[in-house]
Amino acid sequence: MAETINEVKFSDAAMAEIQRYISHYPEGRQKSALLPILHIAQAEFGGWVSPEVMDKIAEILNIQPIEVYEVATFYTMFNLKPVGKHVLEVCRTGPCCLRGAEQMIDMLKQKLNIEEGETSADGMFTLKPVECLASCGSGPMLQVRETFYENLDSEERVDAFIAHMRSLEPETPTWAK
């Protein structure tokens, strides 16, 4: 992990993608590229953005660090501390709860031996509660990166989901392929 802003180095592929986003906006409006750049940074640095990484983004965009912090802390899709290989974003909003979200979350906690917000001892899973993911009719459900896993309404399905995730490598961002 980088300890200072000067130790934060984006790969050439990531920098090229960052510059591509910045080029979409007129001079002086580079901040408009902040959200995609935070996504790139999160993919680049192990699934989370540290204060040093956010400071580097501010430097690249020529804005104040607080302008990056306020966006990164607002959206739950950005992780502000180290996470496991797979971040399970579990929906805990009303409609999913009516369809068994609390039982699904309890099963995940018990099977992975973690509480909400924690990472499993093997570094494989982080359990992250989030609000409605707009798949209410298919609850209980969760999201891992860009993929929805739905109807996790039985122990059998939760077990199959965990086995599936253990067999996967994290997705490589398109720009890094």
Query: Under the rule (CB under 6 A), what is the footprint of ligand FES?
Result: 91, 93, 95-96, 132-136, 139, 141
> How many CB atoms are located within 10 Å of the residue 96 CB?
27
Question: How far are the Cα atoms of 36, 66, 101, 112, 143 from residue 56, in angstroms, in the given order?
Answer: 15, 12, 38, 34, 28
C-beta closer to ligand FES: residue 61 or 133: 133
Minimum CB distance to ligand FES smaller for 96 or for 152: 96
Q: Which residue has the tokens 């080029």?
A: 23
Known binder of ligand: residue 97?
A: no
Peptide linkage before 95 cis (omega within 30 of 0): no
Q: How far is the CB of 115 from ligand FES (least distance, A)?
A: 20
Q: What are phi and psi of 154, to 5 degrees?
A: -150, 160
For the chain, helix (H) and strand (E) counts, in that order, are 7, 4
- Sequence ranges of the binding site for [2Fe-2S] cluster: 91, 96, 132, 136
